[in-house]
Amino acid sequence: MKHPLIGIFDSGVGGLTVLAEAARFLPAARYLYFADSGFAPYGEKSRSEILERCFKIADKMAQRNVDAIVVACNTATSSAIVEMRQRYSFPIIGMEPALKPAAENAHDGTILVLGTAFTIREPKYQELLQRFQRQREIISLPCPGLVNLIEAGGKDLPEMNARLKQILGDLPASNISAIVLGCTHFVFLKNNLRTIFKTNIEFFDGNLGTARQLVRMLAERGHVCPEASPEANTPRIKPQIEIDTSGERHHVLFLCETLLSELMNNQIKPFMPMNND
Site of interaction with ligand DGL (CB under 6 A): 10-11, 14, 40-43, 73-75, 116, 119, 147, 183-185
Min CB(184)–ligand DGL separation in Å? 4
Min CB(155)–ligand DGL separation in Å? 13
Min CB(267)–ligand DGL separation in Å? 23
Catalytic residue from among 54, 143, 183, 256: 183
- Based on CB atoms, which residue is closest to ligand DGL, 54 or 228? 54
Count CA atoms within 13 Å of residue 56 on its CB side: 16
- Based on CB atoms, which residue is closest to ligand DGL, 127 or 137? 127
- Based on CB atoms, which residue is closest to ligand DGL, 4 or 43? 43
Catalytic residue from among 54, 73, 143, 225: 73
Check if 225 is active-site. no
Q: Whose CB is nearest to ligand DGL?
A: 43
Q: Would you list the DSSP string of the chain?
A: -PPPEEEEEESSSTTHHHHHHHHHH-TTSEEEEEE-GGG--GGGS-HHHHHHHHHHHHHHHHHTT-SEEEE--HHHHHHHHHHHHHH-SS-EE-----HHHHHHHSPSSEEEEEE-HHHHHSHHHHHHHHHHTTTS-EEEEE-TTHHHHHHTT-TTSHHHHHHHHHHHTTGGGS-EEEEEE-SGGGGGGHHHHHHHH-S--EEE-SHHHHHHHHHHHHHHTT---TT--GGG-SSPPPPEEEEEESS-HHHHHHHHHHHHHHHTTT-----EE----
- Based on CB atoms, which residue is closest to ligand DGL, 78 or 240? 78
Min CB(24)–ligand DGL separation in Å? 19
Min CB(183)–ligand DGL separation in Å? 4
- Based on CB atoms, which residue is closest to ligand DGL, 181 or 253? 181
Check if 54 is active-site. no
End-to-end CA distance of the chain: 30
User: Which residues does the annotation mark as catalytic?
Assistant: 73, 183
